[in-house]
Every structure is written in C-alpha cells, then in structure tokens.
A and B are shown apart, each in its own frame.
Chain A
Amino acid sequence: MMRAGWLTALVWLLALALPAQAVEIEEWETNEGLRVLFVAAPDLPMVDLRLTFDGGASRDGDENGLASLTSSALRHGTAEMDADALAERFESVGAQFSTDSLRDMAIVSLRSLTEPDWLDSALDTLTDVLAAPAFPGSDFERARRQALQGLQRERQDPGSVASRRFYELMYGDHPYANWPGGERETLEALEPGDARAFYERFYTTGNGALAITGGLSREEAEAIAARISAALPQGPAAEPLPAVELPEEPVEERVDFPSEQAHIYMGAPTLRRGDEDHYALTLANHAFGGGGFISRLFREIRSTRGLAYSVSSRLQPMAVEGPFQIGMQTGVDQAGEAVTALREELTRWHADGIDADELDASRENVVNSFPLSLASNSDIVGVLGMMAFYDLPLDYLDRYVERMEAVELDALNARLRERIDPDAMVTVIVGGQE
C-alpha cells in the first residue's frame, strides 16, 4: 500500500511552503446544474469536499427522523459494496467520509490526500455511494435501533432535553420544531423505501451545492465536480420553507430532572441568512453574550456572580428565521436567581442598547479575527459550504469586513430594539425537582 514515489512527492509538496494568498473563490455549475464553489489551497497535499443539500430535519414532514436516518443510511454502502467494504475502501487510503443532518442541511463530506491513486479510490467509493445507495433492510433496522438509542442518550442528558423542548416551544408547527434525532413513534414507522425516496427527492444536483478546497488545479476540481455531479440524482430545488410565526407572548416551562444543574435556554426565532440586519445584530450580540470572555453575560453571570461555567448568547441565521438564544447551566438551587439575572441583562441590553466602547471592542474583534476564519482548509470548506447552501453572493467574504465597519451605533441600537423582544421570549429550565 505504501508507495515510495508518492511519499517522495508528498515531501516535496510539503517543502514548498507557498506564501499566503487571499482566498479567491471560483464558481461554476456542472452540466447537471450543481453549483460548485472552489478555493485552490496548494500548500498541503489534501482535499476537502463538502456537499450540502436542502434536506435536513426541516424536510422530515410528518416522518420525524427521516432526514437523519437517510443521512446515516449513506454509510451502509451499495448493492455491491456493503458497510464493511465501504469503510474499508475509504479508510485503507486514509480518507475520511462522513454524513450529517442538521435542521436546514444534509451534509456529505470527504477528506482525502491528493496522492492520485488514493484520491481516485476515495472518489470512486464516494460516487458509487451517491449513484446507488442501497438502503439494505438489515442495515436500516440497525440504524433505526441506533437512532432510538440516540434518543435514550438524549433523555439522560438535561442539556439535550432542554434544547429539544426549547425548539418545540419556539417553533410550534413549523418544521424547525423537528428534532433532528427524530421521535420514537415516527422512527419506528420508517421503512427503507422512505429513505430511498427522501434521498432521490432531496440529494439532487438542483437541490444541493458542492464546496471544494485543497491542493487541486481548477481543471482537477472541475473534473472531480463533474464526477460527483454525474453520480447524483437530478431534480429541482425544494420548495421554500414556510414563514416562521414570531411569538408575541412570553412562554416559560420548567421540566423536572434528577440533575445537579438546571439547564436554561431563553430566546426566540429572529434571523434569516442574507438579512441585512445580520451585521448590526452580530455586533450587538457580540457585546451581549457572543464575544466570549469580554461579553456582558460572561462578566456579569460568570465572573462577578460565579453562577455558571458556560453562559453565552448566539444568533443562528438559517434559511428562515433561526433563533437568537441564550444558554447557561447553574446549580439547581440558583436557577431562579440565574433566570432573573438573565432577564435583567436582556431587558437592559434591549432598552439601552450597547455603548460606543462596546461597539468598538466588538467590531475590532470581528474585523481583526476575520483572517482566522479562513486560516485552514477546514475553515474554508465550512465557509464555502455555508455560502453555497444559503446562496450568498460571491463577494460575501470580500465585503464582510466593510459591512461590519459601516454599522453605526444608533442604527445598531435601533435594529436591536426592533428585532429582539425581551417580552416575547421562550424560556426553558430543565433540572431539579419542583
């Protein structure tokens, strides 16, 4: 398996440490209509591929858990290549293959060395799977049992219990209320044919995108994209998700749990990808709870009061309104105090906004840390995958810093008052006994 020639070439490649270059994104569409984003990263002899499809749990319909089971079923191989053979083919050439299913996205990833024989073998295996995944009955049954065990694992974890309930209360009848891990009843009713149909409906060239980065020329990347695209089912983009009904009243729920800590979530559906308020709200949130050690929540809740190890807030822009959410954990006897403290901070943030110093500090962090977000191939393929999935314009990265720099304090605070409503938050507290 080891080849002296290839190792020699590899050593040569590693010795040629090329100077840093700005990230230059190339874009094209394959013959079958698959959108491709590519960044050449010649310094390391490795390749990252990420396929994203609009086929996450928000596409489960009434069969909650279907997206997730379909995603795992891709690891079961094809009619000619069972799960053992599939794993052997990837791993014997050092390739890393993975699939994942979130609320918006279904993700298929491959990382490989660029050594031609090894890369070719890994790509062959990938395209075999994409062209004809088998969904064999016995493997499907095992995947179902593993998914059910996954639900048990979540039920013994107060953080997972809280997160699941938080999404249910925030999203009600909307597909984002679907827990990616599924429900026992719906999982038990699924059949291999459901996964096959889901695959053929959502894992298509018209409903997906491909991000590529690594030690490839444009021609090599095009050839790889063509192979992958030809293997995929063809089909149209999924219908847009329904709009989210924003809450108007506060909701609070406590759930008993035999834990030492209470897990607290507070938040509401807030932001779509591509929304122009993204920049202002990101800076506002950075100062509030998204900026790690320097944010208000960290200072007040953790450093001053010692109430929590982890306390933060985040904005999760999604295809339709994704959540603004605060999360923390604290000893059960302090849960009441913690919720009160969070509400005070939230109300003050909303009413008074952030000040000029906080804006400067947040902006400097966001602008100065920008190079870090593209420092590795992992970072790059992640950003490309996000851009491709949400159909962001190619100049999104180029303009990111200037958009952040253009945000003005008064406008920021006005957008904050408009978009965050402390009086219509969902609060979930899991832990302790009433």
Chain B
Amino acid sequence: MRGKTLVTVLVTALAFAWPVVAPASAPEIESDVVEATLDNGLTVLVLEDQRAPVVANMVWYRVGSADEHSGITGISHLLEHMMFRGSEEYEPGEFSRIVSRLGGRENAFTGRDYTGYFQVIGRDHWETVMAMEAERMQHLKLQEDEFRPEMNVVKEERRLRVEDQPNSLLREQLMATAFFNHPYGNPVIGWMSDIEAYTLEDNQAWYDRYYRPDNAVVVVVGDVDAERVIDAAREHFGDIPAGDHSEAKPRTETPQKGERHITVEAPAELPYLMMGWKTPVLNTVDDPVDAYALMVASGILDSGEASRFAREIVRGDELAGSTSARYSPFSRLDDLFLIAAVPTRDTDVETLEAALLEQVQRLQEEPVSDSELERVQAQVIASEVYQRDSVRSQAFQLGMLETIGVGWQEGDRFVERVRAVTAEDVQRVAREYLVPQRRTVGILDPQPLDGEDPPGPEAVQPHGDTAGGM
C-alpha cells in the first residue's frame, strides 16, 4: 500500500531500449539486464548502473490483494507491516535499525498483484541487506504482542488514506461496483471489518503460502557487478526450499449487463466524478497493440497541459478544475480505464460528465491527429530517459513487469510498442472498449462539513439514474 501510487505506465528503460529506425522494421534489441533463475525457482534480475555509488535492492512476492478472498481482504498488506516486526535472527525493529545505521533508506509496498520490500543503500552494503531479506523470507516470527498494535496501525492507515478522503472513498466504492467477483473489487488495504478480524493464524498461513523463493523476484540495480550479485543471491537464497503452489482460481468477472451508477455521500466541499470502463491489459489481451493503444488514448485525453482535457475542459469551456485519465497495460488481471474530474463552481456534474463523454466519443469518431500522437510519443521517449535518473524507479519497473507476469523484457519493447500505435488503433480500441456496457460511474455528493445547510447551488445534482449496479 505504501508504494501503490508508484505504479506508472512508464516501464523500465534499458540501454538500447528502442529502435533507431522506423518501428515496423526495428530489430528487437537486448538490454543489459542479467537474469538468473535459481534451482528453487527464485528469479534474480540485475542491472548495473554506475552513475552513483548506490544500489537498490528489492524483493518482490507475487501476492497482493488480488489473491485475497472475502473476509481477509488486506491481509497481504498487514503481513507487509509484520515483516518489520521480528524474525528468528532479528528482533522486532532490528532489521530497520541495521539498515538505518548503514545509511540505507527502506520501505515496502503492497499492491493488487504484488508485495515488495526495498532498500536503497551505499554500494558497500547491498549484500548485507540481501542476506537479511533472505532471512525474513524463511524465518519470520509472527507474535501476538507484535501483531495486535500493528492491526491498530493499519486501521489508522485506512482512516488516513480512505475514510477521511472523500475522493478515495468514491474510488474504492467505484471499484467494488465495477467488479462483482473479480478480486480488483477489493481494496488493497482491506475493508475495515476484515482488518479488525485478522488473526495471527491468518498471517502465518499467508506467509507460509506465498513467501517462497519460487514465488519471489529479487531485483538489484546500481553500482554492482552483476555476476557477483547472482552469486550472492545463490548463496543467501539458494538453500530455501521451494513451496508447492496451488493454482489460483480464475475468478473471471461475470459479464457486465449494462452501465452502473453509484453515489457516495461524504462530508466534503467539492463534488467529484469518476468513471471507469472494463478493459483488458497486456496480460489478458489478444493483441498487445490494443493495450498500448488504450494507453495512448489516455495520453491523448490527459497526459499534460497540452492534452484534450486540459485544453478543452479545464481551460476552454472551464467545466473542471482538474481532470485525469489513467490506463495502465501493466497488471495481472483486467482493469479499468479511468477518467475523473472535479467540476468547477458553476458546473453541475451531469454537464461535466457529458463533456467528458463527448471527448471519449470524439476518440471513437475521428482519428487523432499526427501532432497529438507525436506529442504523446515524445513524452514517452523523454520519460524513458528521465526515469533512468533513479535506481529505485528502474528496479521498481523491472520487478513490477516480472511479478505481474508480463516479463521484464517488455521494457525493451516499450517505446517501440508505443511508437507503433496508429490513429486507427486508438479509434478502434475506443470504439471497442469505451462503451456504456463496460462503464461504471461514481459521483461524490458532498455533505456539509459543519453539519449545517448543504453547500449551495454549486453542489452536485443527484444523478439521473442511481439505480444501477448497487
């Protein structure tokens, strides 16, 4: 959870990542990532980057809220917290004390598809923290008196991130409405009553089942020698036995039978509108072009101040104070193409919704211009270079691609794939996926903050059809 927002559509940038000639005839060029798979199934990825004497060391587990069933939602995230509260060799908090003394920065993150742990540390200390990660992969010591206060910490985290954030509440309930039986309907942090009901045994079972070398990816990026890193990984992780994995049940989302609408009432000053269309991702799509075309479509709508939303809805007609459009091809399962906006003072939510949908319709009816495509491509190419500025973001992207099942090599193809997207592709995917039968709409209806009269005429109009999905 802590790093969830790090997920970005811009993937790892590796040397020689893109072709130097026209995309259609481009050869695929290998990157400098060194990959090894140990006998116990652990994947190790290393990328040397000598720009600064620092190293990012990460361990990723292929487990997240997408693996959770009803009643224990958020357990992956709680376990992430418990990983800092003691193992056989290190007493509670000692792991962090050692990392701190070595001058390292550490944290962990839980998402829908993965749980990850990282340290960024001086080049002399990466092996020390790698060995410590190997120890807590196999010898976590879950204890009741450590677990009880951490449950309360997570309840506070949920209050902070969701309960007191009206826009987060809307998003959480929108996801739960869009997905009936697909696991992305559950929040990563978990529902409050599930958090309150966790037991130590739930933790132990989750740890035993998923924290296994064959379910993990080690990523090291920075001022290292790749062969040395592979050897060290073999030494520290090599003896950990593999687990036996039962295949996850499919939990394929039941077909949507029409548009869904919800309203969320919460103390707030500003209405908020969010809508999402069910879309395939790189992992699930028949033709990868569709996933990249959807990404380009979101970029045409909202990837900077020159995009259509900023130009026409924020500045032109001034219907929204802020807007966003987000689609990522990178997740384990089907996801949503999301659009969100805050109406301006004199705009009702229905007018704003109509204007946003008009922009979607335009994507369906007319091809995007060459200059718009080129702008999105230029931004992608530049971002590829910019994100190499950080060893951590490079490691994050390698680990993310590998963990969700796409494979880190997709980073090598990323720019080429984006450049291969045509105006016709964008139009085609907009027609196929951005349709009412895939759509869920959520509206935040602000309630007075002071318990007195509702906030004036600019307040949200109740939506015409709230009888949908709920």
Residues of A near any B CB (own CB < 8 A): 1-2, 4, 7-8, 10-11, 14-15, 17-20, 41, 43-46, 75, 83-84, 86-88, 90-96, 111-113, 118, 139, 142, 145-146, 148-149, 152-153, 155-158, 256-261, 291-294, 299, 302-310, 329-331, 361, 364-372, 374-378
Contact = CB atoms under 8 A, between A and B. Distances in A.
B104 interface: yes
Nearest to B446: A156
Interface string B243-254: 000000000000
Contact of A44 (B122, B149, B306, B388): B388
B156 A261 contact: yes
A83 B156 contact: no
Contact of A294 (B96, B345, B446, B449): B96
Contacts of A146: 321
Contacts of A43: 51
Contact of B385 (A46, A158, A291, A369): A46
Given A87-B310, A378-B390, A291 B100 contact: yes
Contacts of A307: 152, 156
A316 B374 CA distance: 43
A4 B20 contact: yes
A366 B103 CA distance: 7
Interface string B17-60: 01011000000000000000000000000001111111000000
Interface in B268-311: 268-270, 303-306, 310-311
22 contacts: A8-B20, A20-B51, A41-B51, A46-B382, A87-B306, A90-B305, A91-B375, A91-B379, A96-B382, A142-B315, A153-B342, A259-B163, A260-B164, A261-B164, A302-B149, A308-B153, A331-B159, A368-B101, A372-B54, A374-B52, A375-B54, A375-B391
B318 interface: yes
Contacts of B419: 2
Interface centre among A11, A94, A148, A158 (most CB of B within 10 A): A94
B267 interface: yes
Interface in B326-364: 342, 344-345
B93 A46 contact: no
Nearest to B48: A17
Contacts of A86: 305
Given A156-B268, A371-B52, A309 B105 contact: no
What's the interface size class on B, roughly?
A: 35 or more
Contact of B375 (A14, A44, A88, A330): A88
B150 A306 contact: yes
Nearest to B81: A309
Given A44-B385, A155-B449, A309 B345 contact: no
A95 B375 CA distance: 10
Contacts of B51: 17-18, 20, 41, 43-44, 375-376
B389 A378 contact: yes
Nearest to B149: A306
B84 A293 contact: yes
Nearest to B376: A91
The list of the 8 closest CB pairs from A to B, nearest first, reads A368-B103, A94-B382, A306-B152, A306-B149, A87-B305, A293-B96, A369-B103, A87-B306
A369 B106 CA distance: 11
Contacts of A15: 15-16
A152 B269 contact: yes
B59 to A, nearest CB: 17
B93 A303 contact: yes
Contacts of B20: 4, 7-8, 11
Interface in B78-101: 84-85, 92-93, 96-97, 100-101
A364 B6 CA distance: 29
A375 B120 CA distance: 10
Interface centre among B315, B377, B446, B450 (most CB of A within 10 A): B315
A91 B389 contact: no
A261 B162 CA distance: 11
A330 B164 CA distance: 12
B371 interface: yes
A96 B383 CA distance: 10
A83 B51 CA distance: 37
Contacts of A331: 155-156, 159
Contacts of A95: 382
B122 A368 contact: yes
Interface centre among B21, B103, B157 (most CB of A within 10 A): B103
A294 B97 contact: yes
B166 interface: yes
B7 interface: no
B163 A94 contact: no
A403 B446 CA distance: 52
Contact of A156 (B148, B269, B383): B269
Interface centre among B48, B378, B389 (most CB of A within 10 A): B389
A285 to B, nearest CB: 14
Contact of B378 (A87, A92, A374): A92
Interface string B101-127: 111111000000000000011100000
Contact of A260 (B163, B311, B375): B163
Nearest to B21: A4
Given A260-B163, A378-B389, A83 B305 contact: yes
B352 to A, nearest CB: 13
Given A20-B50, A310-B160, A364 B377 contact: no
A149 B321 CA distance: 7
A400 B274 CA distance: 48
B214 to A, nearest CB: 29
Given A142-B315, A153-B270, A371 B122 contact: yes
Given A93-B378, A113-B385, A376-B389, 17 more contacts: A17-B49, A18-B50, A20-B52, A43-B51, A83-B305, A94-B383, A113-B381, A113-B382, A145-B344, A152-B270, A155-B269, A293-B106, A303-B92, A306-B150, A329-B159, A331-B159, A376-B52
Contacts of B342: 149, 153
B220 interface: no
Nearest to A94: B382
Contact of A330 (B156, B311, B315, B374): B156
A156 B160 contact: no
Nearest to B378: A94
B100 A293 contact: yes
A112 B389 CA distance: 13
A153 B269 contact: yes
B449 A156 contact: yes
